[in-house]
Structure 1
Amino acid sequence: MSVTENQPVPGGIDDEPPAPVRAAGAVLWRAGAGGVEVALVHRPRYDDWSLPKGKLDPGELPAHAAVREVAEETGFSCVLSRFLTRVNYSVPAAGGGRAPKVVDYFTARAGNGSFAPNDEVDELRWLRTDQARELLSYPHDVGVLDAFEKSPAESATVLLVRHAKAGKRSEWAGDDNLRPLTEAGRQQRDALHSLLPLFGPSRIYSAPRLRCEQTVAPIAAELGIGIATEPLFSEEGYLGDPDAAADVLRRVAGGHGTAVVCSQGGVIPDLVARLAHSADLPLGEVVSRKGSVWTLTFALDRPSGNGSGPALRLAAADYLADPLA
């Protein structure tokens, strides 16, 4: 097999280092007869087996590129569940030398579709992870598969969103609960409207703030569902009983399908840190800029014998920056 993706090539050195090549992909999975199966694609140009991935189009976010590349290379639609890992390596640069390549990978559950050979991919195989590990051509893809296998087999996703920009509180003369999004905030809202549906949300919750509700209103309208307000996701409600707020978020996670929760800057960092601490999940600094999203993955532990239902613990927390940043 001739594999060229990671082989050095001759060439000169430019005065300026080449810009990183940005790409995104996914571990596309489905439930097979023998358990979880993942999709590998064969690229005749390189004669290699890899995970579906490709370069970002201008102005495209990694999540958008991952979903698009999955569809283009495999023929399947998909729903993202979480950011998985980032891989760095080098590739041949235009004009010679090497350029850094940065690939963001997501976990994606396969939807409808069927494979047909195309210009980039001539074969697709659905394999158990142990079989896929043996077939993959590159060590960095094996590392991505390792990260996928460490994810909980049964999980639930909550997209914890900080509301978009609404101007300064000191410059708003009315009831602060009714402070609306600014023009910059509406642009962030629209960017979130293009991002969050990639994760397949089916339920939406919000702090009782106009700016929070406005941030997620377009998604609710598109889904044809209402926005459930939760006072414990507001700053004063959270500060009054943070443990109760964390319990409510766990109950939200335990509902059917992915949930979107829109809250405030005085809530999100402490809430995520609290959930992580209770699950012994090490996290660094928990930031939360306006228009950003924490993708929270909860493990669904088996129900206890007392009929109380499954216990939920935070298994992963991944930060997606403001889409317009």
Structure 2
Amino acid sequence: MGGFILVPILIIGLFILFASFFTVKQQTAAIVERFGKFQSIRHSGLQLKIPLIDRIAGRINLKIQQLDVIVETKTKDDVFVRLKISVQFQVLEQKVYDAFYKLENPHDQITSYVFDVVRAEVPKMKLDDVFERKDDVAIAVKAELNEAMSTYGYDIIKTLVTDIDPDIQVKAAMNRINAAEREKVAAEFEAEAERIKIVAKARAEAESKRLQGQGIADQRREIARGLEESVDVLNNVGINSQEASALIVVTQHYDTLQSIGEETNTNLILLPNSPQAGSEMLNNMIASFVASNQIGEEMKKKNLEKGIVMKKRPKRQTPPRPEEGEDLNY
């Protein structure tokens, strides 16, 4: 009979023993109440409480937490936009009591403040300013939250505007504007590249023409020098300049005919190539040289006679100037 009574007592004793101890994880705080009244705050490690009298009312996470809040509002230029605000916060270790007993739902409280600040700041900005000054929005949210939540034992570590999403039609219009701007810049670069090509090609052609002209001038200069030397050689053997020039022309004529006959891929060229035609060409050249010399001699004579007449013409007599006071009437 005594053994049956000992077993329940032993079981109850073990239950009371195990209920007296509890553990608290790292970066966590446990709130202990006694008969519904706050008793103490226990931190990480093995802790002791009175069974059936003390109870764990709750646990507070002391790690840095993040709350994402999506706010839809309107900008100054009447564009609806959705902003994603990420709030990083932490419960202060020395204010665990305030964080546990003063706020029923801290997430809802933080969300309300975020909505209030964002909808007060964004309507002051145009859509482009929202993208450029998103840090200003984040700073305003952090300042408002720090002032409000510090009373409840929460510290706002950082607030971030992680996403800005305009209306789908506005986004499409912005993409079209961006694409048109890039196409405009691309067209300007392509036009500039084409202009550079045209200028370079024109400069190359100009340089080619200059060198070609210089080559032709050098060629003609050498031909003239060779003709001059040929005429001098013929003059040394008793052939005058007219006959020498005619002989050189006829010789070049027949050399040309010979080169054309040797070339198989040349086109058909009709030239006077009979002996009579060559003789007529020579006679015509000599006659033209003689006529040119006669005309030149006649012009020299006329110029000479004109100069003699100008020298013999008497000078015009100018009457003497009257002396001062002399009568001009004759």
Length-normalised TM-score, structure 2: 0.21
Q: Greater strand share, 1 or 2?
A: 1
More contact order relative to length (CA 8 Å, sep ≥ 6)? 1
Instruction: Normalising by structure 1, report the TM-score.
Output: 0.21
**Whose radius of gyration is greater, 1 or 2?**
2
**Of Structure 1 and Structure 2, which has the larger fraction of its residues in helix?**
2
